[in-house]
Structure 1
Amino acid sequence: MMMLNRSQHMGGRSQEKNALEELERIRLQLIDRCEYQNEKNWVASVSCLNRISLSKVLFYDEIVRRITNIPGVVMELGVQWGALTSLLYNLTSVREPYNFRRQIVGFDTFSGFPERSLSQAELDQGWKAHDLAGAADAKQLAERCLEAHQVFSGMSHMSRHEFVEGDVMETLPVWFDANPSATVALCVFDMDLGIPTREALKHVLARSQKGTVLVFDEYAHPRFPEEGMMVRQVIDTMKLQPMKSELLPYTSYIVL
């Protein structure tokens, strides 16, 4: 049975796909033709960063600036390739370069959706176990990327990242038990599905504090309606207002 990725299941205009392919060709050419390593990183990355990707960078910079005076870890539930993990690591390195306690912890199965995480409604939508899986070496690539970014941090001798592999409904409570002093400053929920969002949110709230920021990547996404539905089951959104991002159409956040 073929597993689906985001492109196959969610589509996109042919003009957008063609433009993305062209940007990728240009990016590889720039890497090849720029002379200096730092020039390769800057020119190839920024020249080919499209509006959608840049919007994510700007949004998460706004979010990270909200937590610089809040103690605790930064969690990402649903890592896939680790792009946002790297972004959060670098933004915290820029905004608070000497806060060696600002751990970035990413949770993912690294094998797509767990079967038990899918509701009947999500199955009826066409989602299956292991959909949206990355490559077999996705975790290793994400690890290598974070290790390279660590070299440029203000305290490069201090490791500030961790990846936890497995079903978050099992691994998150285990992680909290193993880290009794940990509180949550920021948690990004990007698991797409309702059941793991609901269960993880309960554990995260138990370690949150006033000022903790919760980001829900698919809070209002028509292909993933149960994420927002489960959030509204757990959190009284008449008392805590979900704030819609000005930059991203489906993403909302709540400040506790």
Structure 2
Amino acid sequence: MPQKHESTVISYSSSESLDVRKEIFQRLNTYPATDDEKERSLGLFLRGSLLARLLAIRDIYVQILDLPGAILDIGTWRGQTAVVCENLRAIYEPLHLNRRIVCFDTFEGYVGFSDKDKATELHRDGTYGVGGTEYADYLSELLQLHERSNAMGHNFGKHRVIKGDCRQTIPQFFEDNAGEFVSLAFFDVNAYQPSLEAFEAVWPRVVPGGIVAFWQLTRSAIPAEAMVYAETILPRLGHQVKRCATYPGLCYLIKP
């Protein structure tokens, strides 16, 4: 049986609203139009809460336009944030061919939950797997398709999808790419120790004015990011902290 997604379990929406969400999606599947018309009409089926999430990514992205460095999507899961960032790159800075996007995930589910975490049936080792190497390859191909469909699409293959435990893959990435810096990093790892070690590997590479964004910083049901912030970032590291206007759960730090 497919695992339930947290959006149907941990939600501010009423049961009626969740039922309507399902009906909207069903209408997407049965929409009476050609494939070309359906592709151009996806906004008909984009619910407001998902649009709010996409607008929040955009609101963060536009703050790094004048900064050098890669975008990291740590705990990328299915890769939606990375794909949105590729398309925002094409919209706002189509000639910025050094704006690389790097996705990190096990693609086999969470790892590193310990006694310090609040493990649940939704959030524990092994949940949120998407198919391992097969899905990592799929996401890599999908990112390239988006690149090729965008402006300057002949210059594709700039992005990378890296499979494995981020506690090992991120330090290895920087070891292999000594000249790579970070303008923006999204975190959605959700286990304390991996979140801590990944942050400590990334923060020294974030350029001044760069952004580190946390999807779960203020969510009590998933406390890992809050613990890392309270114990490591808040008392030790200078920064500004803000939340996104359209999606308050997405909070971000700006490096001085």
TM-score (norm 1): 0.89
Q: Does the 8 Å CA contact 1:6/1:132 hold for their aligned counterparts?
A: no
Change (3 A) 1:125 1:27: closer
Distance, in Å, in 1 between the alignment partners of 2:154 and 2:232 is 40
User: SS of the residue aligned with 2:206?
Assistant: coil
Map of 1:132 onto structure 2: 128
- What is the deviation of 1:49? 0.7
Q: Does the 8 Å CA contact 1:4/1:132 hold for their aligned counterparts?
A: no
Change (3 A) 1:227 1:186: same
User: SS of the residue aligned with 1:215?
Assistant: strand
Of residues 96, 104, 111, the one that matches 2:108 is: 111
Of residues 72, 89, 97, the one that matches 1:75 is: 72
Q: Does the 8 Å CA contact 2:90/2:150 hold for their aligned counterparts?
A: yes
Q: Does the 8 Å CA contact 1:188/1:214 hold for their aligned counterparts?
A: yes
Distance, in Å, in 2 between the alignment partners of 1:80 and 1:13 is 26
Map of 1:247 onto structure 2: 246
Instruction: Specify which structure has the higher proportion of helix.
Output: 1
User: SS of the residue aligned with 1:210?
Assistant: strand
- What is the deviation of 1:20? 1.9
Aligned-pair Cα RMSD in Å = 2.3
Number of residue equivalences: 250
User: SS of the residue aligned with 1:10?
Assistant: coil
- What is the deviation of 1:9? 5.6
- What is the deviation of 1:198? 0.9
- Deviation digits for residues 47-79 of structure 1 (CA, Å, limit 9, x no counterpart): 111111101111111111111110000000011
Unaligned runs of 5+ in 2: none
Q: Does the 8 Å CA contact 1:77/1:108 hold for their aligned counterparts?
A: yes
Change (3 A) 1:23 1:140: farther
Change (3 A) 1:144 1:20: farther
Map of 1:20 onto structure 2: 21
Question: Percent identity of the aligned residues?
Answer: 22
Give the residue type in structure 2 aligned to 1:128.
R
Map of 1:225 onto structure 2: 223
- What is the deviation of 1:139? 2.3
Of residues 195, 198, 201, the one that matches 1:200 is: 198
Structure 2 residue 122 is matched with structure 1 residue 121: no
TM-score (norm 2): 0.89
Q: Does the 8 Å CA contact 1:81/1:141 hold for their aligned counterparts?
A: no
Of residues 99, 104, 123, the one that matches 1:102 is: 99
Distance, in Å, in 2 between the alignment partners of 1:235 and 1:121 is 18
Unaligned runs of 5+ in 1: none
- What is the deviation of 1:173? 0.3
Distance, in Å, in 1 between the alignment partners of 2:16 and 2:138 is 30
Map of 2:153 onto structure 1: 156
Distance, in Å, in 1 between the alignment partners of 2:210 and 2:238 is 15
